[in-house]
Chain A
């Protein structure tokens, strides 16, 4: 039983990491309508920044500065925001699918840089032995994971609370106005490009934070953590949970990652042993099937967007 609890703690940590990234994506797509198809690129920037700053020095690397975790985390948010700002300046004018193509390209470029800039990122071999924050304080892996779960819960709670306040503020209403009808928003004197850029940078910063927290937890980073499939997974989480709803984003992260993990367990448990080596394909089919069914029966996601646009209207 303890084993199950231990696994669930681990599972919850990964879910909460994804939740932060999906909350960031939700700000971009759910509230502002920005089709960011390069989420994993910012996830990678955050992850690598933390790794480069906090890993112990090695002669063959430029990085490995051995800085404290908190510094790494703060700079990781900074670099992913900066990356988003630069990319946003160039691409944010693009509408929906064009923005998707541009950001997808950017994510591939970032992954290739990670793969090839060996002196900084370790190339294919990645960066190993990244110290886990406060690891020395805990004597068992289980206790440590418990601590990290609390850390993640606090992080998700803070991000959730801040986002809820922001999207309910006038600023958040402008974002939704832009999403629904950009021309109308502009005609009311709103600088749509500026708001779009703000949402893009803020959302990407959260995605970068998620990347940094993941890398700090696993203690290793390589380009294989940032394959395009991760973008797909995060989008699925948002769509299944319900885009435009922060609760939906968190729920979607739990459900979709649960589906990924659970389908693997189910296949391993119930498939006859002689068919086990085909289990991988079956698992992928199972995931696809459940996603399709969810979208057929809950097209707006499990928790759709709340219809209320202003708390002052709630009284009626």
Chain B
């Protein structure tokens, strides 16, 4: 018994040292480490797992294209379980123990923010998020509190909200009700949409938040119906969104529906039924047509056997690709060097390079030759502003013959004109 326990302790101690400590022998230059913090389980697990798969695909592509500085990338992926404490601990471990110079993530702004302020900024590690939409990041950047270490490859909620308001205005909706998910994402989308629609000549008659993961949203739906809107803007994630849409339609709500980007999912379409969604239009970021988008879509389809429909799949690919290219461009592999080189690989004057193994190989070669490049990603061209935010083109989608189809695309120029019209 005593011996057993001693052995057990010894085994545990060995496992502990093995898991925590860097190996005793001198660390070789290869592989190059890149951290990832994504929600693989927890409330965002359903969208987080495919996002992580897409991130892995990007890493595979970079490695197949020759890797960073001749080394393959080792992508160390940690699960934040949707809990900020877990995410912060994982980030600290990645930075201190694994010594990663850059982190991809996180998904939820509630995890990304504490990771950024309490781990990444003090340690001077670059963070590139695929999915955190909170405007707080922009505010912190304006106040100089992020040190410029934070980037995100998805357009902020403003782009989405303005796009949705534009759809509403174009279709002549005057009295819009909003039902939105009560997260930072939903709150901001609803706020920006209300403001934008006013400028474009419509009005929001009522906006109602809903809590996630409820079996029914009858109360919310009934309240919205009472305001007799001529259309509804639904800001939701696929599962709850389907519940809401079904209840909305079965209680006699209008089928003039505007949807947010997360509902551009087969799961939503199947659960509601295409015949009820004939008048539903949604907007999503930037998956513009173009060779760089097609290359990604084909690679994703080939790898996982289904088209990349779902939030974050395109943006996380770009997050990884941009970071890897910046690592190649950096003189040394430090967070600060990577931060300073991110704009060098996405600047408008560089030679355009595309996604996929071929595109990335060309990008890495050009960088090795000391040339500037412009990475054109799975979401089209990306350009970071002074605060690490991107704005991008918008696509309008709808449902036709049980399929999600792209109605049209607003180019980056159109979007910027829309911004000017609304923000003045």
A residues with CB within 8 A of B = 1, 3-4, 6-8, 10-11, 14, 112, 115-116, 118, 123-126, 128-129, 141, 144, 214, 217-220, 222-225, 227, 229-230, 257, 260-262, 264-269, 273-274, 276-281, 283-284
Contact yes or no, A124 B183, CB < 8 A:
yes
What are the nearest 9 A-B pairs in CB distance?
A280-B40, A224-B110, A280-B79, A141-B122, A7-B96, A124-B184, A277-B52, A280-B41, A265-B19
Knowing A218-B118, A276-B52, A277-B49, say if A265 contacts B93 (CB, 8 Å): yes
Task: Annotate B76-116 by CB proximity to A: 1 below 8 A, 0 otherwise.
Answer: 11110111111011101101110100000000111101100
Residues of A within 8 A of B52 (CB): 276-277
Verify if B64 is at the interface (C-beta below 8 Å from A).
Answer: no
Contact yes or no, A125 B184, CB < 8 A:
yes
In the assembled complex, 17 residue pairs joining A and B whose CB atoms fall closer than 8 Å, in A order, are A10-B89, A14-B89, A124-B186, A129-B143, A144-B122, A214-B85, A218-B117, A219-B118, A222-B110, A224-B82, A230-B83, A264-B78, A274-B56, A278-B49, A279-B79, A280-B48, A284-B81
Q: Main secondary structure on chain B at its contact with chain A?
A: helix
Q: Which of B133-141, B169-177, B246-254 contacts A (4 or more CB under 8 A)?
A: B133-141
Q: Which of B1-26 contact A (CB under 8 A)?
A: 15-16, 18-22
Residues of B within 8 A of A10 (CB): 89, 92, 96
CA distance A139 to B271 in the complex (A): 55
CA distance A124 to B186 in the complex (A): 9
Residues of B within 8 A of A277 (CB): 40, 49, 52-53, 56, 77
Contact yes or no, B45 A276, CB < 8 A:
no
Contact yes or no, A125 B92, CB < 8 A:
no
Q: Main secondary structure on chain A at its contact with chain B?
A: helix
Contact check: which of A1, A223, A281 meets B41 at CB < 8 Å?
A281
Kindly report which residue of chain A lies nearest to residue B18, judged by CB atoms: A269
Contact yes or no, A223 B114, CB < 8 A:
no
Given contacts A10-B96, A125-B109, A277-B77, list 18 more A-B pairs with CB under 8 A. A3-B99, A4-B21, A4-B22, A129-B140, A141-B122, A219-B114, A220-B117, A224-B110, A227-B82, A261-B93, A262-B15, A266-B15, A267-B79, A280-B48, A280-B49, A281-B41, A284-B41, A284-B81
Contact yes or no, B136 A125, CB < 8 A:
yes
A210 to chain B, nearest CB (A): 12
Contact yes or no, B41 A260, CB < 8 A:
no
B residues with CB within 8 A of A = 15-16, 18-22, 39-41, 45, 48-49, 52-53, 56, 75-79, 81-86, 88-90, 92-93, 95-97, 99, 108-111, 113-114, 117-118, 122-123, 134-136, 139-140, 143, 145, 182-187, 209, 211
Contact yes or no, B93 A124, CB < 8 A:
no
Residues of A within 8 A of B145 (CB): 128-129
CB-based A-B contact count at 8 angstroms = 157
Contact check: which of A4, A115, A257 meets B20 at CB < 8 Å?
A4
A105 to chain B, nearest CB (A): 15
Kindly report which residue of chain B lies nearest to residue A217, judged by CB atoms: B118
Kindly report which residue of chain B lies nearest to residue A281, judged by CB atoms: B41
Residues of A within 8 A of B39 (CB): 280
Contact check: which of B21, B22, B49, B140 meets A128 at CB < 8 Å?
B140
Contact check: which of B18, B110, B139 meets A126 at CB < 8 Å?
B110
